[in-house]
Chains A and B, each alone.
Chain A
Amino acid sequence: MSHLFNPLVTAEQLYQRRTHNDLPVELQDRIRFDTARLTHSAGILLRLPQDITAQANVLLFRYWTVDNLRDHEFNDASAATIYLTAKISASPRSLRSVANVYKYLLTADHDSSSTKSAPHSYESHARGYYFTEGEYQSLRGRLLTLEGQILNALGFNTHVALPHPLAITYLQTLDIFSPSIPKHAATEISQRTVQYLNTALMSPQMLYLTHQPPSLATAAIYLAAKEVGVTLPDVEWWEVFDCEREELGFLVMAMGSLDAIARGYQERDGAKGMITRMAIDNENRRSSLETDNTTPRV
């Protein structure tokens, strides 16, 4: 059964994190999105199987429902979760590798999202990727502290069930791979499904914390089938996968709108790269200074 369900976030936790937080909600969303993307990139560079990276994403979002976003630097939190998730999986990665990958990803004006970074940039930035032993030791200390904090916040519950394998089973159940459907359509629909599921990991709505894997899988299939133009059964087939119509509607909306959210972020400040806690703190300090200076004291 544990492959089918996850622990879910409580309404209380969601409310607390939204309101009792000095960061504006939009900024919180942005941080979640950026960090999830960073985790994703790191997973690729660490050559981790996607399920490990996905689990790391889910665990980090869970952690942030307990501890404050601002307790630690965001990319440290990302690195610590991916290190922890890999450690308990069948493909562990050394702390040194994790540190190197994050150093590379975070080096200034390197856009973590673009896979097409020009080869000449490697050399010009090579010095930036270099770790001094002191730097490494301090990062190591931070990550190991964070690992403990994450485990403590989650009550040491690291179980994450992913919808991806379910989605494959559902697609088979829906006869997507039968000869009656053209092979390229079947391939595309499965790819789109997995893509929707992976993208949903970055949703600031934290879909993996609010919905169970069967519903996520169903919604992704619904969207994919619609996009590819494959006709699904004329009945309420989602009920077979224990997904309510309402839930399906919500998830289809949420997954479908993520593309626009991402585009919006990119248009607004595409080249800026990842938001850091330090930047936010600096910004706050600056603005508070400004207000101190400009507003006349009463």
Chain B
Amino acid sequence: MLSKGKSRWADDEEDKVLDVQRKKEKEEKKRIKAEKARKAEEEAAAAKQAQEQASKAPDSEIELSSRPLKRRRLSHSPPALVESLPPARLLRFPAPTWQKCRSVEDFEKLNDIEEGAYGWVSRARDTISGKVVALKRLKMENNNDGVPVTGLREIQTLRDCEHENIVALREVVVGEDTSKIENIFLVLDFLEHDLKTLLESMPEPFLTSEIKTLLHQLTSGVAYLHSNWILHRDLKTSNLLLNNRGVLQIADFGMARYYGDPSPKMTQLVVTLWYRAPELLLGAERYGTAVDMWSVGCIFGELLTSSPLLQGKNEVDELSKIFELCGIPTEATWPSFRRLPNARSLRLPKNPVAQGSVLRSKFPFLTTAGSKLLIDLLGLNPEKRPSAKEMLEHEFFREEPRMKSREMFPTFPSKANLERRGRHGTPNAPGRGKATEMGEVDFSGIFGGGIGNGEQERGGGFSLKLI
């Protein structure tokens, strides 16, 4: 085997020599082509030469090795044909590298970001680059198995993602003592808000145009995840971040994992209760992207009312709240639901209320397309829920009022950044501001966004117009 290998090398050397020879030939030919008169003769000669060479080559090869003739023919027999091909443009892949984690000591802590919403996250500055980032500390609760699998999955999935609506994981850093890796921190892009805190502190809910901007970005992110075979499994408003430039990003991949088709058996203990799809509550072990879409539906509803849609106290209560809002499943609307583990003990009324009717009346200000989308997302049958990709094409995003462009998106004081709504209640200084206030109703879209005063834009008449 080794000797065979050696002879291969020898051949390669020889090939190179021949290659050079062939190249010379080519050049010669090109010159000859310019002289059109002699072209035909020369070509014939070249062909003859090539033939001779081809017939000569095997002889020399046999001396060197017993390699089959196939490869020689491969590169040499039709020189005329090879010549006509331009050099191939090969795809070159990026080749990132790996290196040791930096120490968390390279970061200077600025402040803690609310603990409840994020877990342990703090705002910090990279002392080397000067960039402000969010540092998220991995929970090491179950130390029996080493680094917890949830944390590893979070890193694994986030690292593979590159999308503007998914929070970027810059790197992973560890505590100073590297003899035992116990403190692990994710270095994430810092965004000023999370949607939950924002919704709680906003005096008025988002406008329809703003909701569309947010929902569309959320759906783009989810579509990206699903097309990369990642289930998020914990979509909720506190895991959605928003910066002051109107960009929404999905964060917290602690529950995320890769899935397959057909989906593997997975735990049904995922997704925060209020956002958990009925099939999970009924104990399904094989589920798919539809569980994320249910959560998207819940978030849609929450954006409309500023408070979570289905606030169940426990699994049973959550399920009954779902049935209250979305109707009772029947064999017709959700054929296989009876076969789910927890459905056997379920006692349902005989004459179910028509599905969707409650949702429609709960959101009277929503257009027909809007409520159709919400009803579809909160459909009990996971098969019928629209996929993220389908949702992006939905009529709701195309009809008036259009999505507010990100540049026009209002900004808010950031709690994570320790900002406060300081000017609350104080009248604005006269002068420049005055003119904008005059045109408030008609031009709010034009003046909205860019300038820092969130409350000002709130006054716009979009909700009125909609009715």
Contact = CB atoms under 8 A, between A and B. Distances in A.
Interface of A: 2, 4-10, 13, 62, 65-66, 83-84, 87-88, 90, 92, 95, 143-145, 147-149, 151-159, 212, 214, 226, 231, 234-236, 239, 242-244, 249, 252-253, 256-257, 259-260, 263-264
Contacts of B182: 148
Contacts of B184: 156
B181 A151 contact: yes
A252 to B, nearest CB: 7
Given A239-B90, A242-B90, A256-B1, A7 B95 contact: yes
Among A9, A226, A234, A244, chain B packs the most CB atoms within 10 A around the CB of A234
Contacts of A13: 97
B159 interface: yes
B99 interface: yes
A256 B4 contact: yes
Nearest to A10: B97
Interface residues of B, number: 51
The 4 closest A-B pairs by CB, nearest first: A148-B181, A5-B93, A260-B2, A156-B172
B171 A155 contact: yes
A156 B138 CA distance: 13
B90 to A, nearest CB: 5
A153 B4 contact: no
B130 interface: no
A236 B88 contact: yes
B98 A7 contact: yes
A242 B93 CA distance: 9
A144 B216 CA distance: 43
B146 A144 contact: yes
A21 B204 CA distance: 66
Given A62-B98, A87-B152, A145-B180, A242 B146 contact: no
Contacts of A253: 5, 8-9, 12
Contacts of B68: 226
Nearest to B70: A231
Contacts of B264: 90
Interface string B85-100: 0001011111111111
B258 A90 contact: yes
A242 B78 CA distance: 22
Contacts of A6: 95
Among B75, B78, B147, B155, chain A packs the most CB atoms within 10 A around the CB of B147
